[in-house]
Amino acid sequence: MKKFIYAVVIMVILCGNSQAATQFDFLLSQVRTSTTALTGGKVYFYSPGTTTAKSVWLDRNQATQAANPYTLDSNGTAQLYGTGSYRIVIKDSAGVTKYDRDNIVVSGEDGSIAAIDATSGNQTYNLPSGGTVIVCKTDTTANTVTIVPFSGTYLYLDPLSTQGECVTLSLVGNLWFSR
């Protein structure tokens, strides 16, 4: 019964699109190569599994759309907001790809659900910088969903491995707790 309830909740969340956008937290800290920040680098946002541009915004309320690609500032950072899942590609100022990750899920810090489909392979979900989030694995494959904490925070949790498996996480101090 519990898996069925999660599936219904996930379906409701996926059908609605009226929530505010969530900040890409990892772009606030310096985006770096092994030796230097990617000052002047570009960040490309795509729909998952494609090279089709996907919108990002300069504000949480999605009033001002950001350039795509977006140029990192002199510190190699950006303050951008998105909704749903993205393929994110970051290139240095010379156009060399330094980061290419697919199915990066942006979910809110307000208890919203991050529904992760791992059909195409093992997935990684990056937690926001605070708040509460529910992370659920939606597919039937043996692939896993690994949850990664925001820089400076800690999480001790095995990857999600079965369909309908969900975990509610809240940040207290610098440690993520499951409920």
Q: How far apart are CA 152 and CA 129, in angstroms?
A: 9
Question: What is the pLDDT of the chain when averaged over all its residues?
Answer: 77
- Residue 72 and residue 94 in contact, taking contact as beta carbons nearer than 8 Å: no
Phi, psi of 2, rounded to the nearest 5 degrees: -60, -45
- 13 pLDDT above the threshold of 60: no
Q: Are residues 25 and 102 in the same domain?
A: yes
Percentage of residues in the chain having pLDDT higher than 70? 76
Q: Are residues 88 and 52 in the same domain?
A: yes
pTM of the model: 0.54
Q: Are residues 138 and 163 in the same domain?
A: yes
**pLDDT at 59 (0 to 100):** 81
Residue-range definition of the domain harbouring residue 133 = 1-19+108-179
pLDDT band at 15 (very low <50, low <70, confident <90, very high): very low
Chosen domain end from 77, 106, 135: 106
Chosen domain end from 106, 131, 158: 106
Q: Are residues 36 and 70 in the same domain?
A: yes
Q: Are residues 96 and 131 in the same domain?
A: no
Query: Mapping DSSP to helix (H, G, I), strand (E, B) and coil, where does residue 156 land?
Result: coil
Q: Are residues 33 and 94 in the same domain?
A: yes
Residue-wise pLDDT for 56-105, tens only, equals: 988 877 889 999 999 998 888 888 888 777 888 989 889 999 888 877 76
Total of domains in the chain: 2
Least confident of 43-52, 68-77, 124-133, 156-165: 124-133
Q: Are residues 96 and 33 in the same domain?
A: yes
Q: Are residues 10 and 38 in the same domain?
A: no
Q: Are residues 70 and 99 in the same domain?
A: yes
Alpha helices in 41-135 (DSSP H): none
For residue 156, what is the domain's CATH number?
A: 2.60.120
- 16 pLDDT above the threshold of 80: no
User: Which segments of the chain are extended strands (E)?
Assistant: 22-23, 42-46, 70-71, 81-82, 84-91, 97-106, 110-116, 123-126, 132-137, 145-148, 166-172, 175-178
pLDDT band at 114 (very low <50, low <70, confident <90, very high): confident
For residue 65, what is the domain's CATH number?
A: 2.170.14.10
